Amino acid sequence: MSFISLLWVLLLGSLLGLELIGKVPPTLHTPLMSGANAISGITMLAALTLIVKAEGNVPLLIIGSVSLGFALFNVVGGFFVTDRMLAMFSRKPSNKK
Amino acid sequence: MNLPVIIKFVIDLLAVLLLALGIKGLSKVKSARDANRLAAFAMSLSVVGLLSYYLGTSGIAIQSWIWIIIGSILGSLFGAILAKKVPMTSMPETVALFNGCGGMSSLLVALGVAIFPISGGQENFDFFKSLINEVSISVSIFVGAITFTGSIVAMAKLQGWLSTPGWTQSKVRHFVNIVFAVASLIAFFDLINGNTSSIWLLVIVSSLLGIGVTLPIGGADMPVVISLLNSYSGIAAASAGFVVDSQLLIVAGAMVGAAGLILTQVMCKGMNRSLVSVLFGGSLSAESTASSGSGEYTNITSCSVEECALTLEAANKVIIVPGYGLAVAQAQHTLREVTKKLEQNGIEVVYAIHPVAGRMPGHMNVLLAEADVPYEQLKEMDVVNPDFPATDVVLVLGANDVVNPQAKNDSSSPLYGMPVLDVQEARTVFVIKRGMSAGYSGIKNDLFDLPNTSMVFGDAKKVLNDLIGELKDLGVGEK
């Protein structure tokens, strides 16, 4: 990919982000923040690339692995915690304990 | 194009589409939960796409697999455990912690690529390409480090592990941060000039900058900062995308970065603060107590829980205004019991939710939902404000600044212009509060002096428990 087309990708991605959450009810701000936060853990792909391309370079493998761990902590934790919050909204008042 | 390239292309495209649909769906209550799962699915899909691409082209060494598995298992495990265990009241600090780790991940990737340039890249050295590479590495490190240390400081302050040091409230902090910022710029240009060793300088000073910027910010402004840092972690991910040449990373990072900025903007509006004053103004209380120290209460009426119960029993319509104090006292479940009793007696109960009630926008909704409060009873400020004149009783629980009439009447007040709930329009207002201390803005609340306002002093949970007892004695809700 040329740098210029990557810049286009950046621009369009930003516009998409602005457009997507234009009107969000305040109720959903916290879950949305936490969900978007989980998505920012997409750097796990960069960490994976690093590990695959390390070619036996142990320090690089370790850096990649730690980076992957941090990213997945972000991703898995973020999605779980968002799900926990949203589960409360969908719960009907009738099926409480 | 060979097959693995095509497959990866298709999968990436699909992942971007699903992520976009996920973010979109997260903005509607009905679809939010499915949307969150869709986004999670898109993320796993992108991993499958990447791994299958490498399996189909260069192959993945056993050694790499081992490190992939170690990293993923440890990261996922800790993430899942924390997400399951953490109480709902600590949601802001949890988001901050996750966010910081995302920033750390981008930082490490850039660091790894900088110290050990990835082999198998372009053979013919291209100056332009290498410049872009160095710039994106520097940006990843800079933003990643600020995100990491800033988020950790934010978390520690919200948890009460860190207090605000005195010197950070003086002008000294601007000087210190400018030094850090200039030092990062120097390291940045030095790095682009090919001096690889200055990468460590960049790591250190940008980490310090993250600490220096976040440390002076008061607890009340912290959610805005977390939201902003959330936006930064998206930017860090996008710049890491430039480092490893991944469009998927750039798109996803840019989406999060943009979405985070909008959320930050919304929060600032709700608190009547500009982003600049949040970031550079220090805590509001430090300035306002000096300027508007005119606050002496002259006409406080305090009343007992029993009187409060009697008034509630006679009411037709009750509006509850919950605030962060309610969450701190963990009293949302007790509150739900009180309102259940009132409803059984045929009294209409509604919760008025200020946009920044709780610690983050929407945080209060989460806490009340946890206590089984039906979603339909939660009313937003604009919807509920016209209802106050027709309301018999308003119960203010642990909220303060968001019900201060000064914001409407007193143009000299620092709160002036902030959207507030017009509780004083109701016939009777009960404010349940520990004492006469000011809200986080440190400003006197004129509401407390009004003749139709009565203070019920005590811990929110204890008062509500007593209230349940009194209501029981009155036979409310015992049909």
| pLDDT tens digit sequence for B416-465 | 777 788 888 888 899 888 777 666 566 778 888 888 888 888 888 888 88
Whole-complex ipTM:
0.89
Q: Assess if residue A46 is contained within a domain.
A: yes
* Beta carbons of A79 and B39 less than 8 Å apart: yes
Task: Please tell me the predicted confidence (pLDDT) of residue A95.
Answer: 40
pLDDT above 80 (res B119): no
In b/e form, how buried is each residue of B302-316, taking b as 16+ CB within 10 angstroms? Answer: ebebeebbebbbebe
How do residues A50-70 score in pLDDT, each as one tens digit?
Answer: 999 888 888 899 999 999 999
Partner residue facing B112 (CB), from A64, A88, A91: A64
Q: Assess if residue A12 is contained within a domain.
A: no
DSSP at B302: B
How do residues B213-232 score in pLDDT, each as one tens digit?
Answer: 888 887 667 888 888 999 99
Number of domains in chain A: 1
- Taking CA–CA distances from B377, the nearest residue in chain A reads A93
Q: Assess if residue A36 is contained within a domain.
A: yes
Task: Please tell me the predicted confidence (pLDDT) of residue B127.
Answer: 57
Residue A70 sits at φ, ψ, to 5 deg, of -60, -45
Please check whether residue B256 touches A, CB under 8 A: yes
Task: Please tell me the predicted confidence (pLDDT) of residue B1.
Answer: 63
Q: Assess if residue A14 is contained within a domain.
A: no
Distance from C-alpha of A4 to C-alpha of B242, rounded to nearest angstrom: 11
Q: Assess if residue A94 is contained within a domain.
A: no
pLDDT above 70 (res B49): yes
The pTM is what?
0.81
Choose from B30, B36, B336 for mutation: most chain A CBs within 10 A: B36
Q: Assess if residue A69 is contained within a domain.
A: yes
**Which range, of B83-97, B139-153, B211-225, averages the lowest pLDDT?**
B211-225
**Which range, of B42-51, B148-157, B258-267, averages the lowest pLDDT?**
B258-267
Q: Assess if residue A17 is contained within a domain.
A: no
Tokens 């520690």 identify what position? B156
Contact A50, A67 (CB under 8 A): yes
Considering B12, B221, B401, B446, which one is annotated as catalytic?
Answer: B401
CA distance B390 to chain A (A): 25
Q: Which domain holds residue A64?
A: 26-86
Q: Assess if residue A62 is contained within a domain.
A: yes
Task: Please tell me the predicted confidence (pLDDT) of residue A97.
Answer: 34
Distance from C-alpha of B320 to C-alpha of B432, rounded to nearest angstrom: 11
Q: Strands B348-353 and B317-322, how do they pair?
A: parallel
Of chain B, the percentage scoring pLDDT greater than 70 comes to 89
Choose from B27, B266, B349, B353 for mutation: most chain A CBs within 10 A: B27
pLDDT above 80 (res B247): yes
